[in-house]
Structure 1
């Protein structure tokens, strides 16, 4: 039988089987790995890993297989960390060798998202981009000078929510986007539907879906990128042109806005304009463009997730809301709204923000790390190239670290005569080691505090009443790289405080 009359489906299956067999044999030579669930021959645990909420499954498996375990995905072993102790020992203390990123064929090579710093491989380009971002946002003191901008945007947010509480999620997204677009590009977001916000939101939603672990077979078998889309299993290619176009728009359109306004001397100073004042090479200009795009990738979705989680928590935990409001009334009074400089005088409110990060970790599995050289840990051999994922959701719900971890209890972060404050969740929520996100760590942290403080100073947040009946919200969260309260859960009742 010749290739020409060999059925295409069988030919495709044959090629995949050969590739799988090769990978399986290669992996076996690298044993021993950390333990994990028994998989099927060749395909491993592909059928065992759910398409949603993988962190819950990994946490359950960790009860049997331990704090460091592994799964086999089509012959490729991935290590899962289910404890803070192991995460700190490997990803923090050994960050010099645990800071690379996986070879992501779909969103990286094909679509191009590796231009964003959070997906850079560890190396000179990553370090330089991170240095540029840290110059503006690398500490709380550096973010403090942005307070007037952040506070003004939160004022606008309150007015929009008061006017139309049903558009809460859209207003949260718009406020987060407005702050980042102003800082990165000096762009003032328009009332109503804003084209720049729409451009960036579309690209971010696409990468969140595409970056989900095991979402695309081509990430495990790069040769599939060369197969024509009409072959069986080639349907994944249909979205590539749109994904690429939307990423280019997100990076290029705001950047060109800055250049055009600089050319006529009419611009608001911003991150991009400050770096474009020099005579840049083409390579350096590309780096500046990518660094500016990383603002949104690093700070927008995390901010939105935390703030939407806040509104859901306040509906479900009214006693927490009342205590935080009482602190604001006592310390700030009713003559003005809280500002960023008040944070040190509002310990319960500060603790509430920490509990939001712990209770609803925005990136439950974070972005996977890759080992840059062979390592040995706890008797296990971890070869160069091993993908390592920290189950941040599990780390922030460990009963040994957090009492009653599924309860929303800000007081856990306040020391008293009888107990010591529990572990600060920022140790894990913003990444590990050299991969800690400066945009999230400081900018998102400040933005969340202001949104929470001002909302509690102005609103009483209540469960909605429909046909005279109080409706308990759906406590479910989305799956994917970024975890947020489901939009349908955020039907709220906001009334001006008496």
Structure 2
């Protein structure tokens, strides 16, 4: 018994000594920024709340401009994620989230690989080609008509109108069909995106994504795998239904031009190589990205209009000049060149409260040095979105919603001045579609309605849970501007309600 006890002590001593020596060697070779104190082994994994916006801002204030994981100023985001994008564009290894739950094909979780580059090239060629805007803009203009009608009919549940608009636009762009009432696919998406977010941000959900060595266990010992495999199988089956429906429409000659058809035709003509699972995940990656981001941004535009009414008067003045002070017609995306202030509104929405309160991590692919720090390959970097947006060194009066800050020479560079579309080579490939969504929604809502904060229920501008799609994130009084605007809303709404494809 004594010899066994000594053996155990010897093993423990060896493990401790190995950890001490490894740490000493690591610290000699690398120099990291200020690290927030955390727990042994797991560090700060359990400390980050969700949503993490205001927590990240406080950490930035306490620990400085740059630290492990979070980059707390646009300067360092630009220097590392933009200027050194060649080595700062991969993703953390997440065996459960990426490989098991997503079949290794969900683009947002992929590393900086040939498969990722191939998918991105396909998306870029279709979404940003010469014909892309002409193909997708009619969908957006139509859904904006129903957006204002839905808000008019049920102003207290304005979040439902935002959700239907965003989802129907992205389904039209990807699959060439509008969102139906009680849409099965959309209900499915609302359910599983929350699960994906939970697995991405809650380490207790997926031990294999925290302790990645668990992925090397024999499959029968991977107790988390059955859930992930079932999740993936259900996901693929649901989107296969959408594929089958589209094929049927194509056979009948009634399919609308859309992204999925372009992918199918391009693959058939050998313009690019993509297998069937990748096709499904290429479509679903865009559906996931396009639905939630636009929905949240519209809610934030409404909050900004209610909290800071001064800029809305200015915006309405410009809208009235173009569309008529007596509600002659709704704005359309063809009006963008004549309404630069609405473009500034769109950019300020994305700056004011980023819909991703902290960016999705980028992973360094080889050792690097920056301003005296030495980072090992595998270090994860993310921009601290709320901290940057609320930093007085970056923006004058950052708490205030003020579109005028973007009325400058970079106005038409939609991704400049904020980080909502991402950074470097991971910037959102569908940013033109997303920006147009926010632009047309803002233009039509501001043209048709007044927004007032409820004095009994002031809007919490900093800690609102924008992400919850089941209820309004804040109380707001929404009223039509005039009887003429009511008539316009009804007539345009009738056109939208009659459209079915």
TM range (shorter): 0.7 to 0.9
Rounded Cα–Cα distance in structure 2 between residues aligned with 1:129 and 1:28: 41
Indicate whether 1:30 and 2:33 are aligned: no
Rounded Cα–Cα distance in structure 2 between residues aligned with 1:93 and 1:253: 42
- 1:150-299 aligned at under 5 Å gives the runs 150-190=140-180, 192-212=181-201, 214=203, 216-224=206-214, 240=228, 243-277=231-265, 278-279=267-268, 283-299=274-290
8 Å CA contact 2:361–2:382 kept in 1: the answer is: yes
Rounded Cα–Cα distance in structure 1 between residues aligned with 2:51 and 2:25: 31
Indicate whether 1:123 and 2:121 are aligned: no
**Residue of structure 2 in register with 1:5 after alignment:** none
**Residue of structure 1 in register with 2:123 after alignment:** 133
Rounded Cα–Cα distance in structure 2 between residues aligned with 1:166 and 1:69: 42
8 Å CA contact 2:343–2:412 kept in 1: the answer is: no
Give how far 1:425 is off.
5.0
Give how far 1:92 is off.
0.5
Rounded Cα–Cα distance in structure 1 between residues aligned with 2:281 and 2:314: 43
Give how far 1:23 is off.
7.4
8 Å CA contact 2:94–2:212 kept in 1: the answer is: no
Rounded Cα–Cα distance in structure 2 between residues aligned with 1:458 and 1:448: 16
Indicate whether 1:429 and 2:420 are aligned: yes
- 1:97-108 aligned at under 5 Å gives the runs 97-108=87-98
Give how far 1:98 is off.
0.6
8 Å CA contact 2:312–2:446 kept in 1: the answer is: yes
Over 3 Å counting, the alpha-carbon distance change for 1:457 and 1:34 in structure 2 is: same
- 1:263-342 aligned at under 5 Å gives the runs 263-277=251-265, 278-279=267-268, 283-333=274-324, 334-342=327-335
8 Å CA contact 2:347–2:414 kept in 1: the answer is: no
Shifted more, 356-365 versus 484-493: the winner is 484-493
Give how far 1:287 is off.
2.8
**Residue of structure 2 in register with 1:475 after alignment:** 461
SS of aligned partner of 2:67: strand
Shifted more, 261-270 versus 115-124: the winner is 261-270
Rounded Cα–Cα distance in structure 2 between residues aligned with 1:260 and 1:19: 62
Measured on the aligned residues, the alpha-carbon RMSD in Å equals 3.6
Give how far 1:402 is off.
0.2
Indicate whether 1:492 and 2:470 are aligned: no
- 1:443-482 aligned at under 5 Å gives the runs 443-463=433-453, 471-475=457-461, 477=463
Rounded Cα–Cα distance in structure 2 between residues aligned with 1:20 and 1:487: 51
Rounded Cα–Cα distance in structure 2 between residues aligned with 1:100 and 1:143: 30
Give how far 1:260 is off.
3.1
Rounded Cα–Cα distance in structure 1 between residues aligned with 2:153 and 2:276: 42
Number of positions where the alignment pairs a residue of Structure 1 with one of Structure 2: 463
Rounded Cα–Cα distance in structure 2 between residues aligned with 1:413 and 1:446: 17
Rounded Cα–Cα distance in structure 1 between residues aligned with 2:226 and 2:434: 34
Rounded Cα–Cα distance in structure 2 between residues aligned with 1:412 and 1:144: 30
Rounded Cα–Cα distance in structure 1 between residues aligned with 2:229 and 2:322: 54
TM-score between both structures, scaled by the size of structure 1: 0.82
Give how far 1:24 is off.
7.9
Give how far 1:39 is off.
3.5
Rounded Cα–Cα distance in structure 1 between residues aligned with 2:136 and 2:456: 40
Gaps of 5+ in 2: 2-10, 483-501
Rounded Cα–Cα distance in structure 2 between residues aligned with 1:428 and 1:37: 24
Rounded Cα–Cα distance in structure 1 between residues aligned with 2:231 and 2:425: 29
Over 3 Å counting, the alpha-carbon distance change for 1:218 and 1:423 in structure 2 is: same
Q: Deviations over 1:307-362 (max 9, x none)?
A: 01112222222222222112211232131111112122223222221111111101
TM-score between both structures, scaled by the size of structure 2: 0.82
**Residue of structure 2 in register with 1:404 after alignment:** 397
Over 3 Å counting, the alpha-carbon distance change for 1:486 and 1:181 in structure 2 is: closer
8 Å CA contact 1:169–1:308 kept in 2: the answer is: yes
Rounded Cα–Cα distance in structure 1 between residues aligned with 2:226 and 2:18: 29
Shifted more, 197-206 versus 402-411: the winner is 197-206
Over 3 Å counting, the alpha-carbon distance change for 1:64 and 1:332 in structure 2 is: same
8 Å CA contact 1:412–1:422 kept in 2: the answer is: no
